[in-house]
Structure 1
Amino acid sequence: MDRDPDHKAWMSLRLSRVLDDIGVNRRVVRKRRETFLLREAVETITDKISGQNRTSFHFGSQSEGSTTLGMNSDIDVLSCDNETNIMSDWPDWEAGMDNFLMVKEESTPPQHYWLQWFRRDAPEPVRYYGQEVGLPHVDGRVFASNKIWQHKGKLLLGKDFRCNGPSVSNSEEWDYVPAYKFKVLPPEVDRWFHRPRRGHWPSPEMMQAARECSCFLVPDGHFESLNESIEWRVSPSQIERILVFSFTTVQLKCYVVLKMIKKYIMEKYLSQHSKFTSFHCKTVMFFTIERISPAVWRDDRLIECIGYCLQTLEIFLMRGCCPLYIIPDVNLFEGKITRRYQLSLMEKIKKILNSNLMILYDLQYDVLGQRFRSPSSDMFEKRSTILRKINNVLARDLIEQYLTYGGMGIRLRQLNALRNLANCFSSFEEFGNLYHFETAFNLWGHCWEMEGDPAKALIFHTASIIAQPRNNAANWHIRRLTGNV
C-alpha cells in the first residue's frame, strides 16, 4: 500500500532541489552571511576613521541568507549611535554623553519607551528652550523626538528622501535605521529567557548567545498612540538574527517559500493598505520550529513542514493576534492588517492547505513554479522541455515522478509511478485527453527502456509513429532498439 498517496515526499524532494538551484543552499547562505558580517565590520571601522562613533549592523533577508535573486530583497542597515547613553535609572548617567532615561507610563505601548533627556554635564533633566531634538511634556519633562532623523534625512537627501517606519533612505535597495543601544536587556526582553518552552529550540547554547546580544531603541512610535512622536520601539533584532542563523537548511527553505507565498498573496489579493510582511513570516517560523520536533524538518518532508508553518499562520489569523516571539504582548497584526483582511487572508491560507500547496506552481519568483513543474537539472532538462508539450497534467506528473524517483534511487516509488501511469493510459477517456499522443508514447517507451524491457518500449515507439509518422524521434528510437541505426 502506498504510504505517500499524495506524493508529498516526491514533491518535497523536487522543491528542495529547485530551492537549492536558486540559491537556498548551505554554501550560498553561508557566503551571504559572511559577506554581510564582514560589511558590518568594515562600515564600523570606516565610520570610526572618519570620526563617527557608531556601529553598523546588517539585519533582514540579505544578511540572513533567507532570500533569492528573484525576490529583490532590500538591504537593511541599523546604525547604532555610541555617543548616546540609555539610562534605566539615574545612577546610569555618564558625563560628556547624550543621556536619556527610559520612561514607561501607563499609556506606553508594551514594546515602547519614552526617552527623557538629561544634561551632559550633570545628572539633571534638560529644560526645554526650543530644542528641535526634544519635545516638552505637560509636566515639564523633555523627551527625545523620534522625528529628528526624518528631518535630518529630508535635509540631506532632498527629493530622493524615503521613509518607511523607522528607516530612512534615498533608494529602494537600502533601508537605514538609526538606533540607540540598551546598556542591559530591557525587562520585556529579559522575560523571554524565563518563559516555559518545549526544550528542543532554542537550545541552551543559543540562549546563552542571545543573552550576550544587544537590544536597540529605534525611532518608531505606536500608530494609535497620542504620544507617537516621542515613543521609541524596542528592537531585539540581534537576538532574532541568532535564532535565524540556527535554522537548518530545510527550515530556511520553508522560510523562503513562506515569504514567496506572502509576496504572491500581497500582490494578488490584499489591499495596498494591508502590510503582510516578511517579519510576520519570520515570527511564524519561530513559533513553528519551537513546537515541531526536529526530526520532522527533512528534505523529503519539506511540503509537510511548509504546511505546519501555514497552520501556525492560520491559528494567528483566527485569533486575530500574531505575537512578537520575544515580546509576546505585542500583536504584530496591529496597524498592519485589519480584521477584515485577516479573515480574508485566513480563507486564502485554508484554500492553500486544502489544495496540497498547489500555489507553489504559481510562484514566479526565480521562476520557481516553472522549475517546480519541470526540473531543470542536467539530468532532466531535455526531458522537461518535452514534458511541457503533454496536455494531460496527470500523465505528465506521473512521468516526472518516475524519472525523478529513478534519478534519486527511490525504487519502490518509481515502480508505483509506473503502475499509476499504466492505469492512466488504460482507459480510452484518459487516453483521449492527451494532446500530443506521439510525445506521450515516446516518453512511456523511454520508461520501459529504463526498466530494461525493449520489447514494450518498441510497442510504444511504434504507436508513436502511427500517431505521427514524420518528424518523430520514435523513428530513431526504433532503429536504435532494432540495431538498424
Structure 2
Amino acid sequence: MLPFSAIDSSLEKLSGENTLSLDFYKYLCQKIGNEDEVKVRRLTYIIDDLGISSTTVTEITSGSKGEGLQLKGSDLDLMFIDPSFKVYESESDFVPQSSKCILLLMKTEDTHPCFTQLHLVNNHDLTVDHGKRIKNSFLGRKLSSELYRLNCMEDITIVDGMMKIHGPCISTTTETIDTAWCLKCDKWISQAKPWIIRPRRTWPPLDLISKIISCGVLFVPIGYKGSSNEILQWRMSISVAEKCLIFAFNHTQLLCYALLKIMIKDIVEKQEDLKNLLCSYFVKTLMFWMLEESDPSIWRPDKIITCFMACLKRLNILCRIFNIIALFYSQ
C-alpha cells in the first residue's frame, strides 16, 4: 500500500494536470471557438444549404467550415447532388422514377476498393430529353467521371472564368472554394456495411448509426489514380456520414480534432521532408477510431491534454506504418 505522502503527491500532481488542462481548454475555446460559437457557425451553413436545397439541387457544405470550425487557411467545400441521376447497387433495388432521372448501376468488378463504374441501365435511351452536358459525359453506356467533371466545369465558367480542376472538385484559382458535383445512391451500399456491425464500445450510438445509414452514399467524379480505366471510375464518398459523426463530437473532442488539423497545416506541411505525408482526412479517420475505442467519460475539459497526447501517440504509430509501407514499395 502507498504511504499517505505518496498518495498526497499523486493527487497534487493530478490536480495540477487537471488545472493545466482546464486552462488550455479555455484558451482553445477563445482561439478556435466555444460551444455556442460552433453551433452558430453550423446553423449558418445548414440554413444556407437548406436555401439552395429548396430548388432541384441539394447542397451540402463540408470541410472544416461545414463542421463548425473557422481555421486559418480553411477553404469552403461545397457538394451538389446532381438531380439528373440516381445510382443503384443492384437492379433489384430500382425504384420507378416519376421524373426524367437517369438510372445508373454500380459495377465494381474491375475497380479498386472504394471505387466503382456507373453504367446506364439496359432500357435507358440517352438520346431522348437530356442536355448536351449529360450526353457528352458518357463513353458508350458508361458515365465517365473525367468527362462529367470537365462538362460541369464548362457550365460554371460561363459565370466565373477563374476555375480549375482540383481532384474531384472544381476550384477557384485561389483554392478558397472547392465545388464537387456528385451523384447519390439512397441506400447504404454493401462495401460499407461492415462499419455498421463492427465491434465498438459505445460510440457512435445506435440511433446515430441508423441516421447515417438512411443518408445513403455519394459518388464523386474521380477515379483511382493510375488505373487503366481511371476516367470511368467514381469514388464512393461518405461525407454526409462523416459530417454527422463530427456533429456528434463533444466540445473536447472537437477541439482535439481542430488541434490535429492545425498541427498538420502549420507544422507538418511546412517541413519539406514531411510535406504530403499526412492530410486532414487521416486526422478525421484517426478521431473516429479513437472515439470508437475509448471510454467517452475521458473526453472532458480537464483531460484535454491527456486526450490530445493520446491522439498524437496514435498518429505517430500510423506515421511509422506509412513509412514502412513506403520503404517496402520503394525497394
Relative to the length of structure 2, the TM-score reads: 0.83
- Partner in structure 2 of residue 339 of structure 1: 326
Q: Which has the higher contact order (CA 8 A, sep 6+)?
A: 2
Question: Matches of residues 48-197 of structure 1 in structure 2 within 5 Å?
Answer: 48=55, 53-68=56-71, 71-91=72-92, 92=94, 94=96, 96-105=100-109, 107-118=110-121, 122-123=123-124, 132-136=136-140, 142-147=141-146, 148-154=148-154, 156-157=156-157, 160-170=162-172, 171-197=174-200
Distance in 1, matches of 2:136 and 2:83, equals: 21
User: Which of 2, 5, 18 is 1:9 aligned to?
Assistant: 18
- Partner in structure 1 of residue 240 of structure 2: 238
Unaligned 5+ segments in structure 2 are: 1-8, 128-134
Distance in 1, matches of 2:176 and 2:325, equals: 28
Checking the alignment, whether the CA contact within 8 Å between 2:67 and 2:246 is kept in structure 1 is yes
Question: Matches of residues 397-416 of structure 1 in structure 2 within 5 Å?
Answer: none
Q: Deviations over 1:122-149 (max 9, x none)?
A: 35799xxxx631224xxxxx31111122
Q: Deviations over 1:181-239 (max 9, x none)?
A: 103111112221112222x1111221122122131011111113221111111111111
Q: CA deviation at 1:272?
A: 8.4
Distance in 2, matches of 1:180 and 1:162, equals: 20
Alpha carbons of structure 1 residues 27 and 265: separation in structure 2 relative to 1, 3 Å: same
Q: Deviations over 1:404-450 (max 9, x none)?
A: xxxxxxxxxxxxxxxxxxxxxxxxxxxxxxxxxxxxxxxxxxxxxxx
Checking the alignment, whether the CA contact within 8 Å between 1:258 and 1:281 is kept in structure 2 is yes
Distance in 2, matches of 1:43 and 1:155, equals: 18
Distance in 2, matches of 1:117 and 1:211, equals: 25
**What is the identity percentage for the equivalent residue pairs of Structure 1 and Structure 2?**
26
User: Which of 205, 219, 222 is 2:221 aligned to?
Assistant: 219
User: Which of 40, 43, 49 is 1:34 aligned to?
Assistant: 43
Relative to the length of structure 1, the TM-score reads: 0.58
Q: CA deviation at 1:320?
A: 2.9
Say which structure is richer in strand: 2
Checking the alignment, whether the CA contact within 8 Å between 1:40 and 1:56 is kept in structure 2 is yes
Question: Matches of residues 323-338 of structure 1 in structure 2 within 5 Å?
Answer: none
Distance in 1, matches of 2:163 and 2:325, equals: 28
Question: Matches of residues 438-457 of structure 1 in structure 2 within 5 Å?
Answer: none
Checking the alignment, whether the CA contact within 8 Å between 2:186 and 2:214 is kept in structure 1 is no
Distance in 2, matches of 1:152 and 1:145, equals: 12
- Partner in structure 1 of residue 261 of structure 2: 259
Amino acid at match of 2:49: E
Checking the alignment, whether the CA contact within 8 Å between 1:90 and 1:123 is kept in structure 2 is no
Checking the alignment, whether the CA contact within 8 Å between 2:32 and 2:69 is kept in structure 1 is no
- Partner in structure 2 of residue 288 of structure 1: 290
Checking the alignment, whether the CA contact within 8 Å between 1:61 and 1:67 is kept in structure 2 is yes
Q: Deviations over 1:16-59 (max 9, x none)?
A: 111111242110010011111111111122xx2xxxx2211111
Q: State how many pairs are aligned.
A: 304
Structure with max Cα Rg: 1
Alpha carbons of structure 1 residues 224 and 8: separation in structure 2 relative to 1, 3 Å: farther
Query: SS of 2:312's equivalent?
Result: helix
Distance in 2, matches of 1:154 and 1:273, equals: 32
Distance in 1, matches of 2:264 and 2:17, equals: 22
Distance in 1, matches of 2:107 and 2:296, equals: 41
